[in-house]
Structure formats: C-alpha cells, structure tokens
Amino acid sequence: MQLKILRFICVFILTGILSYCSLIHISTSGSVSGTSAVYPASGTDLPAADFTFYLPRVALNKCEVPVLPIIEITEDLCAYDMSHLSVSDPKLFKKDKTMLIDLTRIQKENYSFPLPGAKVISSYAGKRKNHIGIDLKTFANDTIRTAFDGIVRMAQTYYAYGNLIVIRHFNGLETVYGHNSKHLVKPGEYVKAGTPVALAGKTGRATTEHLHFEVRINGQHFNPEYLFDMSTQQLQPKCLVCTQEKNRIVISSMDSFSNLFFMLNASN
C-alpha cells in the first residue's frame, strides 16, 4: 500500500515538472512545440481565380446586360415616302408599343453632330412656339453631316424648308436637314454616320444661312435636345423610351438601360 502511495507521489511530481518545462518553452519561442507560423510577404499577387467557383452560374448571368430587341425599319421606300416629310414606318411599334434607343451604347464613330462647331440660334419650341426643330449656325456652305447610319428618304425642295434632306436611321429615328444650299446625296442612298449630305444655306423661309435640324420618330417630331447635348455636341448619356399611345408617340429619357438593369437586379 505504501509502495502504491509512493508511486502516485512520484508520477504527480514528474507530471508537474514536465508541464512547467513545456510552459517555459512556449513563452520563450513564441510558437507551439517549436513550429513557427509562416506569413505571406506583403504585395504577393493573388492567384488568378475563376469566380464561377464562388458564384453560382445564375448569379453570374444576372450581371450580363441583355441585348435590346432589334429595331426593324422599312428600307423599301415608295414614291410617297420620298415626297412627304411626315410619314410613319409600318414596321415600327409593330411587335411592341415601347421602343428603347439606348444612346449610351452608340460609339463615337457611329454618330455625328449634324453641323460640328455650330451654335444654337433658335431652340425647339423656344421663342417661336411653333418651331419644331433647332436652328444651328456656322457659316454659309458649311458641311452638314448625317447624325447616324441610315438611308436617304427625301432630298428635294419642300415648302418653307427650302432644300430638304430626310434620313431614316436603323435605330428607328429620322433626322431632317432644311434650308440647304446644295444636296450631296440622293433618295435611296445608304449613308454612314458623319457622311456629308448637304451644304448649309438659306433656301426656303430663312433670313440667314443656317441648318434647321429636326429629329422624328414615326413622323412625329420631338426636341433634338433629347438626343444631343447642344453645348458639348455629344449624345446625351441617356436611354430614350418611345411609347406609342393611340396616335402619338410619347418620348421620355432615363438613365442608360444598362444602369437601370443593374439597379433593378441589385434590388431583387
């Protein structure tokens, strides 16, 4: 019995000595059992990662901006189309009553201010309430350029407009250029954005050489400032929303469709 008590006391003392030594080792080396931690050096590049490992495919798809529906326009022009300013295009608003034209998606090389460097001498529905375009002035016989790619629908003398050019664009809009001194294109001709189409003049009802510029959709005119910032002569960073209501088209503009799409997805 005494032997058992003696063995227990020896084991107890030995365990105590070993624990004490272990504590001293940890406090002096700063690591456990002699294994030191290895930290990465600062500025180390992260490994190239395919985030499909971390995000489910559904979430990734939400980040891809959807393609806007293709706008179909009538390119086969009849004699009436070539001789009347305000004509509707039967292909527009055929499938959908709302049409989106996202100006933020149009690259710089795919549009042109109609009279670069011009200043505005009369705004849309400004002092002259019935003014349905915007008057731009540089100097006589300056080059007028088409705003977007499209097809020349009209090129002729037309009442107070004098020499008039109308271009139907593939984005669904039409642009109108009046009082020209000379025409450089013919009806039915395809043109790229920035193509010279006419020279500025004062034919028709005009007292000074200038360009009378209109923007239309389905024959209905609207303020060209929805399209262009007249001070910077750049496209507005907006998306035009054109909605057919009975016999008229209501135009409004919102932030780019892409931004709106991301905003809606983020709130879902």
CB 71 within 8 A of CB 170: yes
Q: Which residues lie closer than 8 Å to 17 by C-beta, 6 or more apart?
A: none
Size of the site for Zn ion (CB under 5 A): 3
For the bound state, the minimum distance from the C-beta of residue 56 to Zn ion, rounded and expressed in Å, comes to: 56
- 262 vs 255: CA distance, rounded Å: 11
| Beta-strand runs (E) in the chain | 98-102, 119-122, 134-137, 143-145, 150-157, 163-169, 173-180, 182-183, 190-191, 196-199, 211-217, 220-222, 228-229, 234-235, 238-245, 248-255
Q: Which stretch binds Zn ion (CB under 5 A): 79-87, 108-116, 132-140, 193-201?
A: 132-140
Nearer to Zn ion, 103 or 136 (CB): 136
For the bound state, the minimum distance from the C-beta of residue 133 to Zn ion, rounded and expressed in Å, comes to: 5
CA neighbours closer than 13 Å in the CB half-sphere of residue 145 = 18
Nearer to Zn ion, 91 or 131 (CB): 131
Say how many C-beta atoms besides its own lie within 10 A of residue 236's C-beta. Answer: 16
Nearer to Zn ion, 114 or 133 (CB): 133
135 binds Zn ion (CB under 5 A): yes
Print the binding letters for residues 152-181 with Zn ion: x by CB under 5 A, - otherwise.
------------------------------
Name the residue with the smallest CB distance to Zn ion.
Answer: 212
Nearer to Zn ion, 52 or 157 (CB): 157
**Rule CB under 5 A: which of 204-243 touch Zn ion?**
212
Q: Is 173 helix (H, G, I), strand (E, B) or coil?
A: strand
For the bound state, the minimum distance from the C-beta of residue 214 to Zn ion, rounded and expressed in Å, comes to: 8
Q: Which stretch binds Zn ion (CB under 5 A): 34-42, 84-92, 130-138, 143-151?
A: 130-138
Q: Which two tokens stand for residue 170?
A: 């593939």
Q: Which residues lie closer than 8 Å to 105 by C-beta, 6 or more apart?
A: 68, 256, 257, 258
Nearer to Zn ion, 145 or 238 (CB): 145
For the bound state, the minimum distance from the C-beta of residue 144 to Zn ion, rounded and expressed in Å, comes to: 13
For the bound state, the minimum distance from the C-beta of residue 66 to Zn ion, rounded and expressed in Å, comes to: 39
Residue 246 backbone class (left: φ over 0; alpha: ψ -120 to 50; beta: rest): left
Residues of this chain that bind Zn ion (CB under 5 A) = 133, 135, 212
